[in-house]
């Protein structure tokens, strides 16, 4: 099982969420794509920014951690299944997340940028609550696609059962869901959020706002935010929409395998195109020949009439 262990008791706090994600600067540089005009993409399975209050020192320790964070141009993929933190519960590491599936992918080139994050059968813990899961999820996913010449697309989903602090949660799109456990604390869960512009797309499956008072293992208070399944992308630089014919114009493709009259007509049209003739030229030429024939017949009849008289 792949795992990540972070020892950063003095790391800088950075809280991002399904809404904060969509307005915060992306993990990659902006400015219309990468070097050479490539698009850009990034994904992360978990992003946590927590402030942990310690009883013995009466101090607050900001902690930041991520799991399976990737970025592109080129291609990137990670599949670590656990992430732990040290330095907040004595000498015992805190398992922030354990999952059966935790993948993130990002690809980008001059034609397309795409990012995707997936998390399944996952349990999230915070310092001070080693036995009680902060949140358990069946499956959360997010995806962002930025293709040259097309409108960027973002999607996020929370599938299956979700529990918070041991309670089953029903999430709604109308706003955050609050779970309050006396003597433990509360969690606000916000359902998936997406946002797109003319050149960017971003999605986050689930946002958790945490405030717990475990009073256990030397931990007095834990506050912060956790984001699950985050993806974003930026379209390739200079991408132009594909041209389309006028709505009422009927364009039929010409084949190079015509025979008989069709082949003759194709050759005639090709010759007209080469000499600058338009589509009306055959009809004008045909009309001139008809008039010439009528004129010649009339002249012949006139001469015969004079000879008879």
Residue showing tokens 């594909």: 242
pLDDT in tens, 151-172: 999 999 999 999 999 999 988 8
Q: Is 270 exposed, middle or buried (0-12, 13-18, 19+ CB in 10 A)?
A: exposed
**pLDDT value, residue 191:** 84
**pLDDT value, residue 80:** 95
Taking CA atoms, 217 is separated from 26, 93, 94, 127, in Å, by 36, 12, 11, 8
* β-sheet bridge partners, residue 296: none
**pLDDT value, residue 35:** 52
In three-state secondary structure terms, 254 is coil
Q: State the average pLDDT for the chain.
A: 73
**pLDDT value, residue 88:** 76
pLDDT in tens, 86-129: 777 766 788 899 999 999 999 999 999 999 999 999 999 998 88
Q: What pTM was computed for the model?
A: 0.67
**pLDDT value, residue 164:** 95
Check: CB of residue 113 under 8 Å from CB of residue 40.
yes
DSSP state of 198: S
Total count of residues recorded for the chain? 309
* Below-70 pLDDT ranges, the chain: 1-36, 57, 90-91, 238-309
Measured distance CA(158)–CA(176) in Å, rounded: 14
User: What tokens were used for 182?
Assistant: 């006396």
To the nearest whole percent, how much of the chain has pLDDT over 90? 46
pLDDT in tens, 203-217: 999 999 999 988 877
Measured over the CA atoms of residue 136, residue 24, residue 200 and residue 69, the dihedral's sign is: negative
Report the run of H or E that residue 296 belongs to, with start and end: helix 281-308
């Amino acid at each position: 099982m792949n795992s990540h262990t972070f020892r950063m008791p003095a790391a800088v706090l950075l809280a991002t969420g399904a809404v904060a994600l969509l307005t915060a600067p992306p993990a990659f540089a902006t400015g219309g794509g990468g070097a050479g005009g490539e698009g850009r993409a990034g994904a992360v399975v978990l992003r946590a920014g927590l402030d942990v209050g310690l009883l013995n020192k009466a101090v607050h320790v900001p902690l930041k951690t991520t799991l399976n964070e990737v970025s592109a141009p080129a291609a990137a993929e990670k599949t670590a299944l656990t992430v732990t933190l040290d330095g907040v519960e004595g000498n015992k590491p805190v398992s922030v997340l354990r999952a059966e599936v935790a993948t993130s992918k990002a690809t980008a080139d001059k034609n397309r940028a795409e990012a995707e994050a997936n998390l399944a059968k996952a349990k999230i813990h915070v310092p001070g609550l080693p036995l009680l899961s902060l949140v358990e999820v069946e499956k959360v996913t997010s995806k962002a696609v930025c293709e040259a010449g097309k409108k960027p697309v973002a999607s996020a989903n929370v599938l299956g059962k979700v529990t918070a602090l041991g309670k089953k949660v029903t999430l709604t799109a109308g706003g955050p869901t609050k779970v309050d456990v006396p003597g433990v604390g509360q969690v606000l869960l916000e359902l998936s959020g997406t946002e797109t512009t003319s050149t960017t797309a971003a999605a986050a499956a689930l946002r958790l706002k945490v405030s717990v008072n475990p009073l256990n293992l030397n931990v007095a208070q834990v506050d912060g935010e956790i984001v699950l399944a985050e993806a974003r992308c930026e379209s390739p630089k200079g991408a132009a929409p594909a041209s389309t014919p006028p709505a009422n114009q009927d364009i039929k493709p010409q084949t190079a395998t015509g025979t008989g009259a069709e082949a003759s007509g194709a050759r005639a049209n090709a010759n007209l195109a080469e000499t600058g003739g338009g589509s009306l030229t055959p009809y004008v030429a045909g009309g001139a020949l008809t008039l010439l024939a009528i004129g010649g017949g009339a002249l012949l009849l006139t001469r015969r009439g004079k000879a008879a008289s």
